[in-house]
Amino acid sequence: MALLDVNSLSKRYELRPSVLARVLSGKRMRRIEAVRDVTFALNEGEVLGIVGESGCGKSTTCAMIAGLEPPSAGTIRFRGQDIGAFGAKALRRYRRHVQIIFQDPFESLNPRLQVFDQVAEGPRALGLWSEAETEQRVLRMLADVGLPPAAYRNRFPHQMSGGERQRVGIASALVSEPELVIADEPLSMLDVSIRAGIRDLLSELAKRRRFSVIYVSHDLSIMKGFVHGLIVMYLGQIVEAGTFSSIVANPQHPYTAALLAAVPVPDPLFRRAVPDIVDDVARPLASLAGCRFAPRCRQAVDICHREPPELAASGNAAQSVRCHLRHRLQ
């Protein structure tokens, strides 16, 4: 059984114009489908990457999995149990097992808490252990993330560098021994020279403590060597899914191919091919009959504007693709 089973997950937000705007300019209520029909499974010990541009629904998907946002439709099963059916008590227990590492270590730590209290806050709030046991576990956790407790336990966030703060963020997420960790762009605010170190720390702890990771980012190059499976999202939908290495080696969806072509390369002699995509932005409000990517797709044909494509296996079993032309593009 998969650790996490996400089935046809959707989230709609309603944009209600004010009464005045409705009367004067005839604006009507509009809906944004931030997440539409997202389905995937995550096994124990697996690291899954989710990649996509801002507004693709990756963070909303994570918020629903973490139990912070109710889905508009679809189910999330954790060890076979539907988290939508959880009462308050079960939800608390669930939150212990599913933890988040936040993007910004400058914003996510309480500026008035010392490191020890910051990391102990979660277990204390959940009433997990006695104070003595909490102390023991927090100190061990700090050592595990590379912050020697003697030097760090009494520090405040402002006395630490960005990398040290993100280590505190990781310790806070891991101390209650979660089975699933959601890391939403955990490296993007950090200096380049230390990013790999923080990523490797997370990777090593995931192996040692056997938790699964959902790793969300718009940066494919840093996922390399860390994530196993990869999901590519565009305007709320999964457009391509498969193993990281197969997708990077052979992207099948035109959007995935464009994303890969746009990845910055630190080599002044390298001249990239211009990504084969219409230079426009994703428009979440446009209501389309066909494929959501069609307005930016250079290959789009008639059917793409008429019928929404399904996510389906491509010729190669390691990938599935949401594209009418998937057989032609290979």
Partner 1 sequence: MTVLEAVNLRVVYHTAEGPLQAVDDVSFQVEGHDIFGIAGESGSGKSTLMKLLLRLLPVTAEVSADRLRYRGHDLLAMDDRSFRRQILWKEISLVPQTAQNALNPVYRVGDQIMEAIQAHSTMSRRAARLRVAELFDIVGLEDRLAESYPHQFSGGMRQRAMIAMSLALDPGLIIMDEPTTGLDVLTQERILRNLRQMHAKMRSAIILVTHDIAVIAELCSHVGIMYAGRLVEQGPVRAMFQAPFHPYTLGLKNAFPDIREMDRKLISIPGSPPHLAPGARSCSFAARCPFVLPECRDARPRMQDVEAGHQVACTRAGEAEELRRLARERETWRSSM
Instruction: Name the residues that contact partner 1, by CB under 8 A.
Output: 53-54, 161-164, 191-200, 218-222, 224-225, 245, 248, 258-270, 272, 274-275, 277, 279, 281
Six-digit token string for 294: 């069609």
* Least distance in angstroms from the C-beta of 60 to partner 1: 16
* Least distance in angstroms from the C-beta of 267 to partner 1: 6
* Least distance in angstroms from the C-beta of 222 to partner 1: 5
- For CA atoms 78, 44, 197, 155, give the dihedral sign: positive
Task: Kindly tell me which of 97 and 218 has the beta carbon lying closer to partner 1.
Answer: 218
Task: Kindly tell me which of 4 and 213 has the beta carbon lying closer to partner 1.
Answer: 213
What is the spatial distance between Cα 149 and Cα 87, in angstroms, rounded to a whole number?
Answer: 37
Task: Kindly tell me which of 23 and 274 has the beta carbon lying closer to partner 1.
Answer: 274
What is the spatial distance between Cα 23 and Cα 39, in angstroms, rounded to a whole number?
Answer: 40
* Least distance in angstroms from the C-beta of 19 to partner 1: 22
* Least distance in angstroms from the C-beta of 239 to partner 1: 14
What is the spatial distance between Cα 227 and Cα 207, in angstroms, rounded to a whole number?
Answer: 12
Residue 243, judged by CB atoms within 10 A of its CB (0-12, 13-18, 19+), counts as: middle
* Least distance in angstroms from the C-beta of 61 to partner 1: 17
Residue 54, judged by CB atoms within 10 A of its CB (0-12, 13-18, 19+), counts as: exposed
Q: Are 223 and 213 in contact (CB under 8 A)?
A: no
Q: Are 315 and 330 in contact (CB under 8 A)?
A: yes
Task: Kindly tell me which of 68 and 249 has the beta carbon lying closer to partner 1.
Answer: 249
Task: Kindly tell me which of 78 and 234 has the beta carbon lying closer to partner 1.
Answer: 234
CA atoms within 13 A on the CB side of 69: 19
Task: Kindly tell me which of 53 and 177 has the beta carbon lying closer to partner 1.
Answer: 53
SS3 113: coil
